[in-house]
Structure 1
């Protein structure tokens, strides 16, 4: 059995981010969402995020996003926490907002994407075990998830839903300018400096990742924390593979 795409995405990017942290200065707060979404197998725990949001008393909250995606239901939980907060919430796509991370962006009042950053939408993935009836039910569930996501994108962008669905079917990667042009982002932030932008996420689980993004920058020494996280993910995968149909 080949590694399922979801676990491949998590395993390949394990330990490449730090835990959720928030900084508050005056009436503005900043939360850093750099990592894979989903507390069970990712870096960004949705419960911790909701608790962090609830504890912030600010007029403006900045969400700094660099994420290859993750669990769609975890992202939905985060979207609820964002929409129910009294503050104006601004998403800043610092490097990448792919898959579930784009849903988080859709819940924000404003979306700013840095020049050179990426934005990707696609159909939902899952891991399923069972007979043909189980698979049919799973397919039906995925269809409902895709419909919900398409609705989010359509409401935000004002685009025809058929066009949005076609983008999702094709796993579409947008540049910063394209994300703004199509209504996913409100503005593009110009980044001026001598450093070259680089992606540090392993995006090989996706089919159409741009060549410039597909190969991550050389990783630093993994260290014991990352090794432990990789071991946990491997155990999860082994458990799934051993589960009888």
Structure 2
């Protein structure tokens, strides 16, 4: 069941309005817009790292609205951010879910919009094989979860067992809750960014994001009907 939901998530998000672009006005400041999935036919780590390395500004604003994605792409992107000589300020404009949270926490400062959400959970995978293969994969997932939990622990100073429990529960934090738990530094005034992603593979998506998603899907269906009439 989870496998089918994950595959549906990937397929549906191919049609979502996405964006990855970099705007560098001068040597003092640049902005990266990561309104995109990570890996999984979204922005790949190699492309991100190459583009990031071309920025020579002293300060980078990383604007995030992402449903997450591939853990290893996210890890590589996280490393690229952490090693860049510029001061990096992450701004969570809409959703930072799953792997997108690692990118945010790699920044020197993390700011989050009122109405945005920050979600952590335990790792997922797709696997084919026998019982031994699945046991090996489960052990590997445990190692991934421990690595992720260590990063969250360093950021928040929360005990590792508490972090693991929050991940196991698929916890969605509001901006105020994310700040209270130590994941972010500041909350800024709400912006107009909306959820454009299908988050149905997750179990505890907040109602606010479900409503935004439903409205967007209705609008897309309306446009598709109009297009068919035009043809």
The two structures have a TM-score, normalised by structure 1, of: 0.84
Which residue in the other structure is 2:216 paired with? 218
Q: Whole-Å Cα distance in 2 between the matches of residues 15 and 51 of structure 1?
A: 25
Report the CA distance between 1:19 and its aligned residue: 4.6
CA offsets, 1:172-224, max 9 Å, x none? 000000001111110000127xx6x6422211100111122124032454899
Listed as ranges, the matches of 1:200-219 within 5 Å are 200-215=196-211, 216=213, 217-219=215-217
2: distance between equivalents of 1:131 and 1:59? Answer: 51
More helix by share: 2
Answer with 26-35 or 143-152: which moved more.
26-35
Q: Deviations over 1:79-106 (max 9, x none)?
A: 0110110001111000000000011111
1:148-163 paired onto structure 2 within 5 Å: 148-163=147-162
Gaps of 5+ in 2: 225-231
Runs of 4 or more consecutive aligned structure 1 residues displaced over 4 Å after TM superposition: 220-224
Q: CA RMSD of the aligned region, Å?
A: 2.0
User: 2:15 is paired with a residue of what secondary structure?
Assistant: coil
User: Cα–Cα, structure 1 residues 2 and 169, in superposed 2: closer, same or farther, change >3 Å?
Assistant: closer
Question: How many residues were matched structurally?
Answer: 219
Q: Return the offset for 1:46.
A: 1.3
Take 1:33 and 1:198, find their aligned partners in 2: how far apart are those partners?
Answer: 14
Q: Offset at 1:140? A: 0.6
Q: State how far apart, in whole Å, the 2-side matches of 1:18 and 1:167 are.
A: 29
Residues 68 and 2 from structure 1, CA distance in 2 versus in 1: closer, same or farther, beyond 3 angstroms? closer
> Comparing 198-207 with 210-219, which one deviates more in the overlay?
210-219
Q: What SS does structure 2 have at the residue aligned with 1:64?
A: strand
User: Which stretch of the first structure deviates more once superposed, 77-86 or 9-18?
Assistant: 9-18
Contact 1:15 1:43 in 2 (8 A): no
Does the CA contact (< 8 Å) of 1:33 and 1:66 recur in 2? Answer: yes
Describe how 1:125-204 pairs up with structure 2 within 5 A.
125-191=124-190, 198-204=194-200
Structure 1 residue runs of 5 or longer lacking an equivalent are: 225-245
